[in-house]
């Protein structure tokens, strides 16, 4: 009789485990359909209208410059070492290709711009914004000279360290 109780409780345990697995799998599938499914029809309709609109911007691409910029800046007390990682935002395939083709020129232009900065300028957020704007203007001017168009829309600092 004790063996019958033991065998019956094992069967109940297996049934409970099987039900728990089925419920978890069903919950996971439901969550996937709710949050990870395809675009809704409203979103699908909105996408062609955006691209068909006159004057719509092309898609943005980010060109990662291969090496971070490491340079010294002068300060009133002591010089500092700065490392900046940069990405360039461009619009469209043609601008991306032109930017990638002229990466050495862009790197040289950015290094000249960065090396003119001071410690006092780089300490403040507004100073870093000004430096980023100066870098954008310098890169756009250089690209106009060699490619005939300003293919870079924004210069982004993705890493900034000053020691």
Average pLDDT per run of 10 along the chain, which is 163 residues long? 60 82 70 55 41 62 92 84 94 92 94 90 90 94 91 92 90
For 44, the token pair is 């699908």
Decide if 136 contacts 152 (C-beta within 8 A).
yes
* Burial of 147 from C-beta contacts in 10 A (0-12 / 13-18 / 19+): middle
Where in the chain are the domains?
2-52, 60-162
- Nearest of 7, 4, 29 to residue 15 by alpha carbon: 7
The CATH number corresponding to 60-162 among 3.30.460, 1.10.3720, 3.30.479, 1.10.357 equals 3.30.479
Decide if 69 contacts 106 (C-beta within 8 A).
no
* Burial of 43 from C-beta contacts in 10 A (0-12 / 13-18 / 19+): exposed
pLDDT value for 30: 63
Q: How far is CA 137 from CA 3, 5, 93, 115, 155, in A?
A: 85, 83, 21, 15, 9
Decide if 27 contacts 20 (C-beta within 8 A).
no
């Amino acid at each position: 009789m004790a063996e019958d109780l033991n065998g019956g409780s094992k069967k109940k345990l297996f049934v409970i485990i099987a039900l728990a697995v089925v419920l978890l799998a069903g919950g996971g599938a439901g969550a996937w359909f709710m949050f990870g499914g395809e675009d809704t029809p409203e979103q699908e309709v909105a996408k062609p209208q955006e691209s068909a609109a006159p004057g719509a911007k092309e898609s943005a691409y980010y060109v990662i410059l291969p090496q971070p910029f490491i340079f010294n800046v002068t300060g009133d007390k002591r010089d500092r070492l700065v490392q900046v990682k940069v990405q360039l935002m461009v619009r469209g395939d043609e601008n991306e290709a032109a930017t990638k083709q002229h990466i050495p020129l862009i790197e040289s232009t950015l290094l000249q711009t960065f090396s003119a900065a001071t410690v006092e300028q780089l300490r403040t957020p507004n100073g870093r914004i000004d430096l980023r704007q100066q870098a954008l203007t310098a890169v756009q001017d250089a690209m106009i000279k060699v490619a005939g168009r300003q293919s870079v829309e924004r210069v982004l600092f993705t890493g900034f360290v000053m020691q």
